[in-house]
């Protein structure tokens, strides 16, 4: 394979790497109208942009297809995170290997003295993070006077992370005649302002419409009870059995909790968040690359720049804050033509918000139920049969052992033992709350259906949430059971009104339920314990203080157990007792 507009040595490197064709962004940056110009490129994660800017500045670096001796840097690539910088360095290393390029990497967490020695020996390309590059620049170790091209990779992320001053100091230290290539998945106002200040007549390139970063990603939305989020994640991992999976949480606390839960259940999992040192991050990534670990639990920032070729499943355990975050997270999979799956775990009260976010991002997602234990067992059976029937090379020692086993047991017993050993090594699936379990009771109570067995003598309780706060039996039922220390079978009708919900409990369980809701109540809490549950008139403890005013705004936030429970965003006006 050869490309007429690409230097022969780079064309050979692409061929050796298995490139049959360039991706859209790679093809557009080397078109005639883009050659020699400043560029503003919008391309999603996984679109091949590292090779794209490597090809884009090739003509600035090479003369007659050859690189000059390494002295002062000719190209500078700035990336937001250490992992992304190292990934970029690896990509450029194979692309420019046949040309004999010297590439220096300057990132935090590495030996700065070694980096200074590398720069002193000469480099064609320098790749680094803003803080470390600025440090070398201020110390005089990095001389940018010979620079012909500078690339800002994931520029929007660098500005979000507070690197504006570092970037401006670096760019101010570059010569006026250099090319500036700005790569950014999104184009917020700060990026536009940066482009106006440091670029001249930049050519705009966007491949977002051609491959919106999710052409090879299948999106699925799994609706669950907020209390079942962690269980549904476990079942998703077991159902897909992905070679490598990444789970996204919003906070380091939730990363820590979910990671501990997965390890406890037998998953080979690692964690990445802001609380981990660089050595811990390196060890976690290496465990994923050499297959000692198959699951990575991470925060958004900690996962920046991670490239795992075997990653085929991304699970949004906690919902992304916007469509851009959704695409950045999901873009960890479905890269370079490989297929991937991105699953959003959606608590019932958050479905409308997620539907709006998907519409805004123009992502077509399939809405499905979480895999059940039966679904997982069926998949396990098929995977096991496929694995055991696959052709394998058998040596004499294997046959000798097989003959010994056949002498001791029947073929059926041996096969059954193999199946048992296989299943014993797998984490158990979780039983999920039936999505429709509570709905019939609500409908029955509203249509005056006959009482269920054991519910001919009942007591009613009142909760201070209703339809205005997105109350739904599917998440109310497990909440009621946890707060009242009762089982689902001990809850009768659930009547949801505009601003309150009525709960029916058998009189035999009412006293225990009433005592438990008092013990588990924390009136000022922002989680489910802050929801008031009190006896309704005529029930035991009717003299208790009346419930608080209805909550005006309801949202959800994760609990320590990975689930999401209601909370009010604005403190309600309590009023004086009896004011209702």
pLDDT digits (tens, 9 = 90+) for 520-543: 888 877 677 788 999 987 543 343
Architecture in CATH for domain 217-372: 3-Layer(aba) Sandwich (3.40)
Q: Which residues have C-beta within 8 Å of that of residue 267, sequence separation ≥ 6?
A: 237, 294, 295, 427
Give me the pLDDT at residue 207, please.
Answer: 76
Largest CA distance in the chain: 93
Confirm whether 8-206 and 217-372 share one CATH topology: yes
Mean pLDDT of 4-24: 86
Mean per-residue pLDDT, 328-334? 81
Instruction: Look at 95 and 327; give whichever has higher pLDDT.
Output: 95
Confidence band for 564, pLDDT divided at 50, 70 and 90 = very low
pLDDT on residue 557: 36
User: What is the average per-residue pLDDT within 412-438?
Assistant: 74
Fold for the domain defined by 8-206? Rossmann fold (3.40.50)
Q: Look up residue 4 and give its two tokens.
A: 């007429």
Identify the burial level of 151 via C-beta atoms within 10 angstroms of its C-beta, where 0-12 means exposed, 13-18 middle and 19 or more buried: buried
CA distance 51 to 94: 10
Q: What is the pLDDT of residue 274?
A: 81
386 C-beta neighbours (distance < 10 Å), count: 9
Q: What are the beta bridge partners of residue 459?
A: 505
- Residues 257-277: what's their mean pLDDT? 90
Higher-pLDDT residue of 19 and 147 is 147
CA 300/CA 220 separation, integer angstroms? 19
Q: Does residue 562 carry a pLDDT above 80? A: no
Residue 487: its pLDDT value, please?
A: 81
Q: For residue 3, what pLDDT is reported?
A: 63
Q: What is the pLDDT of residue 336?
A: 56
Question: Mean pLDDT over residues 416-426, rounded?
Answer: 82
Does the pTM of the predicted model rise above 0.75?
no
pLDDT digits (tens, 9 = 90+) for 389-402: 888 778 888 888 88
Q: Is 473 helix (H, G, I), strand (E, B) or coil?
A: helix
Question: What's the average model confidence in pLDDT over 292-298?
Answer: 93
Residue 80: name the closest of 30, 153, 2, 176 by CA: 153
Model confidence pLDDT, tens digit, residues 168-183: 999 999 999 999 999 8
Question: Distance between CA 519 and CA 538 in Å, rounded?
Answer: 21
For the ranges 431-445, 464-478, 534-548, the lowest mean pLDDT is seen at 431-445
Lowest mean pLDDT among 20-34, 433-447, 485-499, 509-523: 433-447
pLDDT over 70 at 384, yes or no: yes
Domain ranges of the chain: 8-206, 217-372, 377-424, 439-568
pLDDT band at 570 (very low <50, low <70, confident <90, very high): very low
Q: Please give the residue that has the higher pLDDT: either 149 or 477.
A: 149
Confidence at 436, pLDDT banded by 50, 70, 90? very low
Question: Between β-strands 75-78 and 149-152, what pairing exists: parallel, antiparallel or unpaired?
Answer: parallel
Q: Is the pLDDT of residue 148 over 90?
A: yes
pLDDT in tens, 58-117: 999 998 889 999 999 999 999 988 888 888 999 999 999 999 999 999 998 788 999 999
Question: pLDDT band at 204, cuts 50/70/90?
Answer: very high
């Amino acid at each position: 394979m050869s490309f007429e507009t690409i230097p022969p040595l780079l064309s050979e490197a692409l061929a050796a790497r298995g490139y049959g064709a360039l991706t859209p962004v790679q093809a557009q940056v080397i078109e005639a109208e883009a050659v020699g110009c400043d560029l503003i490129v919008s391309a999603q994660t996984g679109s091949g942009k590292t090779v794209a800017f490597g090809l884009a500045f090739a003509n600035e670096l090479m003369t007659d297809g050859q690189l000059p001796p390494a002295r002062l840097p000719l190209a500078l690539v700035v990336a937001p995170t250490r992992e992304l910088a190292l990934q970029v360095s690896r990509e450029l290393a194979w692309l420019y290997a046949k040309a004999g390029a010297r590439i220096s990497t300057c990132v935090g967490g590495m030996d700065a003295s070694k980096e200074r020695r590398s720069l002193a020996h000469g480099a064609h390309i320098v790749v680094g993070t803003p803080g470390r590059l600025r440090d070398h620049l201020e110390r005089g170790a990095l001389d940018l006077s010979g620079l012909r091209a500078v690339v800002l990779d994931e520029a929007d992320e660098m500005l979000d992370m507070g690197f504006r001053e570092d970037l401006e100091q670096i760019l101010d230290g570059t010569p006026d005649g250099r090319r500036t290539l700005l790569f950014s998945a999104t184009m917020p106002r700060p990026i536009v302002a940066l482009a106006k200040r440091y670029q001249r007549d930049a050519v705009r390139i966007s491949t977002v419409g051609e491959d919106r970063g999710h052409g090879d990603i299948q999106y699925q939305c799994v609706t669950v009870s907020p209390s079942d989020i962690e269980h549904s994640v476990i079942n998703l991992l077991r159902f897909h059995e992905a070679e490598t999976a990444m789970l996204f949480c919003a906070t380091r606390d939730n990363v820590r909790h979910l990671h501990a839960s997965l390890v406890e259940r037998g998953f080979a999992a690692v964690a990445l968040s802001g609380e981990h040192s660089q050595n811990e991050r390196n060890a976690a990534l290496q465990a994923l690359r050499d297959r000692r670990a198959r699951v990575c639990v991470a925060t958004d920032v900690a996962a920046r720049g991670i490239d795992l070729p075997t990653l085929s499943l991304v699970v949004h355990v906690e919902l992304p804050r916007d469509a851009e975050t959704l695409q950045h997270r999901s873009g960890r999979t479905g890269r370079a033509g490989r297929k991937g799956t991105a699953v959003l775990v959606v608590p019932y009260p958050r479905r409308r918000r997620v539907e709006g976010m998907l519409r805004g991002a123009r992502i077509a997602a399939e809405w499905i139920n979480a895999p059940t234990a039966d679904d997982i067992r069926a998949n396990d059976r098929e995977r096991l049969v496929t694995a055991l029937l696959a052709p394998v090379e058998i040596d004499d020692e294997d046959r000798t052992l097989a003959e010994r086993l056949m002498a001791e047991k029947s073929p059926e017993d041996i096969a059954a033992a193999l199946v048992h050993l296989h299943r014993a090594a797998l984490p158990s699936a979780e039983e999920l709350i039936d999505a429709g379990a509570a709905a019939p009771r609500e409908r029955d109570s509203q249509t005056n259906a006959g009482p269920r067995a054991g519910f001919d003598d009942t007591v009613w309780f009142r909760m201070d949430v209703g339809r205005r706060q997105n109350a739904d039996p599917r998440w109310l039922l497990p909440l009621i059971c946890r707060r009242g220390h009762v089982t689902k079978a001990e809850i009768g009708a659930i009547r949801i009104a505009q601003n309150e919900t009525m709960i029916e409990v058998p009189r035999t369980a009412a006293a225990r339920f009433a005592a438990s809701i008092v013990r588990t109540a924390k009136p000022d809490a922002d989680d489910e314990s802050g929801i008031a549950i009190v006896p309704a008139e005529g029930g035991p403890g009717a003299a208790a203080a009346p419930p608080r005013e209805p909550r005006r705004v309801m949202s959800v936030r994760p609990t320590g157990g990975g689930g999401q429970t209601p909370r009010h965003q604005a403190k309600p006006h309590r009023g004086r007792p009896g004011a209702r």
